[in-house]
Structure 1
Amino acid sequence: MSIDEIAKTLIKSGNRLKGVSDAEIDHIEKEYLLKLPLTYKRFLSLMGRGAGKFMQGSSVFYNELFELKNGCEELISENHITNFEHKNSFVFYMHQGYQCAYFICLTQTDPPVFFFSESETTNGFYEKEPSLSSFFFNQFRMSYP
């Protein structure tokens, strides 16, 4: 399911989506010196400021984006994680301070998502989803079973 399909389904379910502007997306790219993948830009433009009940309780929206990398680095330090890809990575998700996820900004339109959770028995980050769109789709499925 694409970001657009998720957005349409959320709207049909009565959720109000609030996107960010192109200028705000440019600000993120300039702040982090990265070129964000198209799938993520689409997510931001459609629902980057909120999407009703979708991902409620997770830090994934624009108002918290600039704090996520520091929060994730703190989580990494506390758990002695050594396999975090710093170069070209963008932390886009945290949940309740014990989970975080990032993708690598290269040439991919829909990059894989790397994930860490204190509640899992992994030794660091692992590829949770083969694509960013599948990550958002699975978050959607958890919000709307």
Structure 2
Amino acid sequence: MKIFIEWLTGAGLADESEILGLSDDEIGGIEQARSISLPSDYRKFLSQCGRYAGLFGRDIDILYPNFLSLNKEFYEIADEFGIDYRPPASAFFFSAYQGGSFHYFLCGSDDANIYVLNDGDTVPGVVSESFTSFMLNAISSYQDAFFQNPDKSWML
């Protein structure tokens, strides 16, 4: 099921021709380079639209290859601003907004929560109970930003 593609096209953020995912080999390379196993919902997102997703993700680092450096960037910013919190070693940062808001999940765990650490936070908060629900809300927010009174029937 290509749920992420359906949501992006349904929200009017992209035509299918504007959506491009990563290959299984590319996703496997990311896992191998980090010695992790990515959650299945995130793997589906990457395979469906992880490289390009139309209007979605243009102002955040959520698409390939931008997310690859987020773990390193988080620690650099944490050191610069004196943030003592360090996430578990299994944390995978998949999204950041202007270096001030970082989202991550834990790999190899039954914990499917999406965590966020914003400017000024000393500990993360849970922003979503799953990657899929995080993406549903993110795509809906993008639709709201681009269109006045958008049709939300794609969310049903």
TM superposition score category, shorter chain reference: 0.7 to 0.9
CA shift for structure 1 position 69: 1.0
CA shift for structure 1 position 29: 0.3
Aligned to 1:11: 9
Extract unaligned runs of 5+ from structure 1: none
**Equivalent residue of 1:133, what SS?**
helix
> Relative to structure 2, which stretch is displaced further, 58-67 or 72-81?
72-81
Which residue identity lines up with residue 7 of structure 1 in the other structure?
Answer: I
**Partners of 2:115 and 2:125 within 8 A in 1:** yes
**Equivalent residue of 2:65, what SS?**
helix
**Equivalent residue of 1:20, what SS?**
coil
Aligned to 1:53: 55
CA shift for structure 1 position 74: 1.6
CA shift for structure 1 position 100: 0.7
**Partners of 1:84 and 1:125 within 8 A in 2:** no
Change (3 A) 1:9 1:101: closer
4+ residue runs over 6 A deviation: none
CA shift for structure 1 position 14: 5.9
Whole-Å separation in 2 of the counterparts to 1:14 and 1:62? 18
CA shift for structure 1 position 124: 2.5
Whole-Å separation in 2 of the counterparts to 1:9 and 1:85? 31
**Partners of 1:6 and 1:140 within 8 A in 2:** no
Q: Deviations over 1:36-77 (max 9, x none)?
A: 000000000001101011122101111212211111112222
Which residue identity lines up with residue 7 of structure 2 in the other structure?
Answer: T
Change (3 A) 1:52 1:84: same
Aligned to 1:89: 91
**Partners of 1:11 and 1:17 within 8 A in 2:** no
- Length-normalised TM-score, structure 2: 0.81
Whole-Å separation in 1 of the counterparts to 2:13 and 2:93? 29
Aligned-pair identity in percent equals 26
**Partners of 1:89 and 1:105 within 8 A in 2:** yes
- Length-normalised TM-score, structure 1: 0.87
Change (3 A) 1:132 1:99: same
Which residue identity lines up with residue 117 of structure 2 in the other structure?
Answer: F
Aligned to 2:153: none
